[in-house]
Amino acid sequence: MPVREPARVYPHRIILTSGGLQAPWVGMRDARETTAQQINKVLAAINFYLAPGGGGRAYVGRPGITVMGEDDPATEVQAITTWYRPDGTGVTFRIADGAIDRFDWITDAWVPALTASQIGAASITLAASGRVQIVPFASGLVINDRVNPMFYWTGVDGTGMTELTNAPIARWVWVKSAKLVAINAASPIEIQWSEENQPNLGYAAGGYNNAWELRQLGNAPLVAGIGRNDGQILFRERSCFSILGEIGPDFRAASTNSDISERLGTTAPWSLYNVEAGVVFVDADARPHLATFGTEPAPLWADCLEQLSATLIPRNAVYRAWTLEDRACGLLLIGLPAVATTQLTRFLAFDILSLQFVGLWNGIPADVLGMVQTDTGDPRWAHTVGGTTYIHGGPGGGPWDDLFVEGAQAIPHALELPALGRDLTETLEVDTIEVGLSAALASRLTITGETSNGAMPMLEVPIPGGGGARIGQFVLGQDRLGAVSRDRRAMVGQIGSGRWVRPIIRHSIRGEPISITDVRVVAFKTGADPDVA
């Protein structure tokens, strides 16, 4: 005869843990249905990201921004990048109002590199508005505004420009096999390519026939393409395909065309980004994918589906999506537009190695993105709003505010956990919520949450040993020196009952970094024992 377990005694104390070594976080999943939530993925990480490395790492607040150079509201920045000369030195450029400026890191100012009049004097036309593509090629840069003939520039101030008269006006351009490959804007089912390391030699001019109409897999216009070591991946709005092989004398005959997807393509050429595993892109419905040779693109959107709804992102603005790597934080960021604006207003943060969705950043609207390298060799990403360029900090030194031209603002952080302790037959009575923090100097938190019965009170909690200034920033008689403990706890008694509990931690104080390691809820279970008739 089976032995029956003894009935439970109520109230029954229970400890629910999220994060840390016991229940390490692996990312974010924005599913609002409690049955679709996962215990190892937070429900929301707003302006947080999961520190790389795995194994119980903390959720860390994103660094802030500072103005890069002067603010000029009348200017439109069209591109920004750091280019590495053949001798290995990095030079940071921007294109603005149809001219090219170079950034002087010592004086913190943009200085003219090619003025609009110098560009015009070389019989070259560069659009004064709209995004511009900058492609390193051979020992210089190819500048493509997508409406005028491309030109090649050696990077020398005031000179070194050559109009690519043999190349077509390019809808998009990329590099493969040391050749410049362009989608012909006049006939966007055709690609043309240069000779090796020769930006103005080849194509379908000067006796060359380096052109190919790609009708084999459809007649829809090509939107973009990207080169990889073993081939190229090309995109139409609703499909994508690969061309395997190097670009050589018998490219058309020797290469292999292969359909990747007959339903997934892109309208957003700036969303294409090469990573170790393949090509990340945002499809025409705003969903990020990973394209590889020979298989259907893998969805990267399963954990961020709520962020991609048509009510948040108008489908006719998806073409502005932009993918960029934040090397300082170890992230891949995908910027997406929002309703009533063409600016990028939300950034999906993915771990650069696992491509796991780990956070959502906002509060930093952007027109153009780019990677730059500081004068100290630190990689940073930058974004522009009109004529203002902002550079983003790194995890080692901040800043921990968004230092806008209009004034500094605290970064609003919110970490929302999944439903903990879900049970259809027993009720949880919440007693305390405890938050673990690492060495970040946060001085106080707001701890709240919700249960199946509604919202819990919002309680502001001081952090023992939190706040204060770091050594090197400490002013005698003015500041309090921050504690050096690497493990702090903030605990508060809470009131709430329901079938589950979902803690929410908020922080928004100027100048304070934050790093949350784990959250613990102490509750008591009450209700009828399901094992008793």
User: How confident is the model at residue 528, as a pLDDT?
Assistant: 59
Residues 485 and 389 sit within 8 Å (Cβ to Cβ): no
Report residue 532's pLDDT band, with 50, 70 and 90 as the boundaries.
very low
pLDDT digits 0-9 by tens, 391-436:
999 998 889 999 999 999 999 999 999 999 998 888 999 999 999 9
pLDDT digits 0-9 by tens, 161-219:
999 999 999 999 999 999 999 999 999 999 999 999 999 999 999 999 999 999 877 78
pLDDT digits 0-9 by tens, 131-143:
999 999 999 999 9
For the cut 50, the answer to whether the pLDDT of residue 476 exceeds it is no
**Whole-angstrom Cα distance, residue 1 to residue 8?**
21
Of the listed ranges 230-239, 370-379, 474-483, the least confidently predicted one is 474-483
**Whole-angstrom Cα distance, residue 132 to residue 93?**
12
In the block, tokens 């995908």 appear at 334
Please tell me the CATH code under which domain 12-62+414-527 is placed.
2.60.120
Report residue 7's pLDDT band, with 50, 70 and 90 as the boundaries.
low
In the block, tokens 């200085």 appear at 111
**Residue 287, CB-side half-sphere exposure with 13 Å CA sphere:** 18
User: How confident is the model at residue 342, as a pLDDT?
Assistant: 81
In the block, tokens 């603002």 appear at 409
Report residue 56's pLDDT band, with 50, 70 and 90 as the boundaries.
confident
Report residue 440's pLDDT band, with 50, 70 and 90 as the boundaries.
low
Beta bridge partners of 506: 414, 446
For the chain, the domains span 12-62+414-527
Phi/psi at 308 (nearest 5 deg)?
Answer: -110, 10
For the cut 50, the answer to whether the pLDDT of residue 475 exceeds it is no
Reported in sequence order, the residue ranges of 138-255 that DSSP labels E, i.e. its strands, are 140-144, 151-153, 161-163, 170-176, 179-184, 190-195, 198-202, 211-213, 222-228, 231-236, 239-244
**Whole-angstrom Cα distance, residue 466 to residue 214?**
62
For the cut 60, the answer to whether the pLDDT of residue 483 exceeds it is no
Burial (CB count <10 Å: 0-12, 13-18, 19+), residue 172: buried
**Of 158 and 32, the one with more pLDDT:** 158
User: How confident is the model at residue 469, as a pLDDT?
Assistant: 43
User: How confident is the model at residue 398, as a pLDDT?
Assistant: 87
In the block, tokens 């730059």 appear at 372
Average pLDDT over residues 324-334: 97
Put the strands of the sheet holding 109-114 in their side by side order: 77-84, 90-96, 99-104, 109-114
Average pLDDT over residues 499-506: 96
Work out whether strand 388-392 and strand 65-67 pair parallel, antiparallel, or are unpaired: antiparallel
Determine the residue type at 85.
R
User: How confident is the model at residue 70, as a pLDDT?
Assistant: 87
DSSP state of 253: H
**Whole-angstrom Cα distance, residue 376 to residue 11?**
60
DSSP state of 270: G
What spatial distance separates the first Cα and last Cα of the chain, rounded to whole Å?
A: 19
For the cut 60, the answer to whether the pLDDT of residue 293 exceeds it is yes
